[in-house]
Amino acid sequence: MPYHHILVAVDLTEECDPVIHRARELAVSNSAKLSLVHIVEPMAMAFGGDVPMDLSQLQQQQFDQAKERLDRLIVKYPELSREYSHLTYGQPRQEIHHLAKEQGCDIIVVGSHGRHGLALLLGSTANDVLHGAPCDVLAVRLQNKS
């Protein structure tokens, strides 16, 4: 069954290149539309929501930096377009699932490190996205840097 709309979720590091390459191959072989998403997690989530100071300025800087990196990625990969690129705040799993439903995507492509031990117990974005996804999920194995 061919895919019609592919959503590729990236972290905007160099490690996302293999994820984009795989999503692009899938899009070409299926003549599918390719959408891109990056989620900026609220800084308060890193502190368990209990933050004694205003992080809004730092959060805005983080969002602006993510926008710059997303723009560079779009320039690097001409098949990606601003029209189908999404940058949003929130919890990655929820936002990726929401966008996939909203955009009518039939597959989500994410990167995965294939972690073991404690890192596996702590989970990953790829694992989170897999559970409860509204469509197929392809986890592209990334090389662990040692």
DSSP 80-139: S-GGGEEEEES-HHHHHHHHHHHHT-SEEEEEE----HHHHHH--HHHHHHTT-SSEEEE
Model pLDDT, residue 142: 80
Model pLDDT, residue 44: 63
Model pLDDT, residue 121: 40
User: Can you say whether the dihedral through the CA atoms of 62, 122, 133, 79 is positive or negative?
Assistant: positive
Model pLDDT, residue 113: 63
Structure tokens at 112: 């995965």
Cβ atoms of 89 and 60 within 8 Å: the answer is: no
- Report which residue type is found at 18: P
Nearest Cα neighbor of 1 from 140, 126, 135, 129 is 135
Cβ atoms of 12 and 38 within 8 Å: the answer is: yes
CA distance 63 to 67: 6
How many of the other CB atoms lie within 10 Å of CB of 80?
22
Residues in the chain predicted with pLDDT less than 50, given as ranges, are: 116-123, 146
Model pLDDT, residue 119: 43
Nearest Cα neighbor of 139 from 28, 3, 23, 13 is 23
